[in-house]
Amino acid sequence: MRLKSKIYLYSSVLFAALLAAACISIYLLFEKMSLDAESLRFEIEAELTAERISESASRTAPDDLLRAYAPADGMLRVVQPDGTSLARPVTASEDTQLSERLSSEPYAYTASHAAERLSSGGKGYIRVSVPVIWPDGEVLSVQVSRSIADIEDRFDVLKTVLVIVALLALIPAVLASTVLANRIVRPIAALTGTMGDIRRSGRFQQIETGQRPGDELAEMGRTFNEMIGLLEGNFARQERFVSDASHELKTPLTIIESYASLLKRRGKDRPEVFDEAVDAILSESVRMRELTERLLQLARSPEADRLEIVDTDLSESAGESARAFMRAYGREIEVEALRPVFVRTDAAKVRQLLFILLDNARKYSEDRITLTVTGGGDKPAELQVVDRGIGISEEELPKVFDRFYRVDTSRTRSTGAGGSGLGLSLAQDLAQALGIRIVMKSEVGEGTAVTLHFPPAETADRGGERFRRDILPARGRWSRSEEGGESP
């Protein structure tokens, strides 16, 4: 059974059951209250009748006495302790059948006050027994029986009315169940239809449930849209990775293949060709490795790259990054940091970002590189990387963060390997993930300055923690000696 049919069926049955329970409760409550009220009224009338009979018993014959006080719709009799009637029972009802039923009622002596509901021939009546002292001193039971046919007729009318009302109330209930089922199933049907469209067309789509925020169905639609956005992003990254890899790896592979063929043909006979081919193959291999690493980093899902936000000393991170970079490339790096500057960020991602900027500065300049840390306290933290290379023209500056954009025609590099154009794009992604704003300023022939503006955060209280000068001097410069050692 479909969900819509289940909701329609279950809600209709539940409403019908609740309506039936309400109608039955109303009927039973009304019946009990009416019978209790009628029984009380009959008891009061029976006590008055018994009192009058007791007062007149010494002056009037029993048969005449009963005829005088017989109820219009019932029977009156006086029962002796031995179970016989003092006089012939008297019925004053015009209903012959009722009179016959009441007259045929067996005698039963009751020494105490009692009221009971009886039924005979499908008709109900109430009998009230009242003990009286007869003039001869004997205690007799005056029994007054009254028909409750009128009340039972009202009960039948009420029963009919409740049944009709229940049937009429079921009509809007059924319609409401239909509306409810359609309202609940609509976003689910939209979800199913959207998934079917995605499967057939291969294009990612989102749904609009039309539900108010906070509703479970709206939450389902929002979660589905977030999932679709995540899948679309992952799919786009995969497509971009395949496209970028096929586009960028084609050139170095072609160069390697060409020089390998040249080596095979002439490498043994011509040493100069051998040296040229090996250098080119090595250069392209390094470039391909760097390109592959950058492509894999860019293809990673942001959700898979969890941030570990901790209190980080930018001065210390800058010093460690400069030392590691100097060891790797032997370039002179000057670090300017007058005091510790703490921020709340991911230290590993900041170092990765610094390595990208330092590597970019290394490729496009031969002079020293300056790394400056400022801010802290009430001032926003900033970290700046400055190279003294040929610089970037004003027209090309807005494009440097685009994927695969290179300005090789205007910037010379000291390295033989060509850049992939992915470094600054990856740096931009890392900065966005960390909430860092990147500002780049450059002048042709003067150099380039890249400034990282860190978001304001509550500065951690470091107490009297000493700043480790063995890691980072207040103002230092690192260089590598010819023997391969390090000297500050």
Does the pLDDT of residue 435 top 80, yes or no?
Answer: yes
Q: What are phi and psi of 342, to 5 degrees?
A: -100, 140
Cβ 422 vs Cβ 298: under 8 Å: yes
Does the pLDDT of residue 40 top 80, yes or no?
Answer: yes
Q: How far apart are CA 49 and CA 419, in angstroms?
A: 121
Two structure tokens written together for 375: 């801010």
Bigger pLDDT: 59 vs 94: 59
Report the pLDDT value the prediction gives residue 461, as an integer from 0 to 100: 37
Average pLDDT of the chain is: 77
Cβ 405 vs Cβ 422: under 8 Å: no
- Which band of pLDDT confidence, cut at 50, 70 and 90, is reported for residue 25? very high
Does the pLDDT of residue 487 top 60, yes or no?
Answer: no
Helix axes 149-201, 3-56, angle to 10 degrees: 170
Does the pLDDT of residue 457 top 70, yes or no?
Answer: no
- Which band of pLDDT confidence, cut at 50, 70 and 90, is reported for residue 29? very high
Mean pLDDT of 18-39: 91
Q: How far apart are CA 373 and CA 318, in angstroms?
A: 8
- Which band of pLDDT confidence, cut at 50, 70 and 90, is reported for residue 209? low
Cβ 366 vs Cβ 443: under 8 Å: no
Does the pLDDT of residue 18 top 70, yes or no?
Answer: yes
Which of 52-56, 310-314, 422-426, 482-486 is least confident? 482-486
CB atoms within 10 A of CB 287: 21
Mean pLDDT of 217-239: 79
- Which band of pLDDT confidence, cut at 50, 70 and 90, is reported for residue 472? very low
Does the pLDDT of residue 483 top 50, yes or no?
Answer: no
Q: What are phi and psi of 41, to 5 degrees?
A: -65, -45
Say which residues have a Cβ less than 8 Å from residue 375's Cβ, sequence separation at least 6: 341, 381, 382, 454
Does the pLDDT of residue 246 top 70, yes or no?
Answer: no
Q: What are phi and psi of 415, to 5 degrees?
A: -90, 155
- Which band of pLDDT confidence, cut at 50, 70 and 90, is reported for residue 466? very low
| Three-state secondary structure readout of 326-391 | HHHHCCCEEEEECCCCEEEECHHHHHHHHHHHHHHHHHCCCCCEEEEEEEECCEEEEEEEEECCCC
165-202 confidence digits (pLDDT tens): 989 988 888 888 888 888 777 777 877 888 888 888 87
Pairing of strands 369-376, 333-337: parallel
Pairing of strands 310-313, 342-345: antiparallel
- Which band of pLDDT confidence, cut at 50, 70 and 90, is reported for residue 23? very high
- Which band of pLDDT confidence, cut at 50, 70 and 90, is reported for residue 98? low
- Which band of pLDDT confidence, cut at 50, 70 and 90, is reported for residue 298? low
343-380 confidence digits (pLDDT tens): 988 888 888 788 888 888 888 888 889 999 998 777 88
Report the pLDDT value the prediction gives residue 163, as an integer from 0 to 100: 92
CB atoms within 10 A of CB 121: 9
Does the pLDDT of residue 74 top 50, yes or no?
Answer: yes
Helix axes 250-262, 216-248, angle to 10 degrees: 20
Which of 76-90, 127-141, 197-211 is least confident? 197-211
378-395 confidence digits (pLDDT tens): 788 999 999 988 888 888
What distances in angstroms separate CA 276 from CA 253, 267, 279, 284, one per listed residue? Answer: 16, 10, 5, 12
Report the pLDDT value the prediction gives residue 470, as an integer from 0 to 100: 35
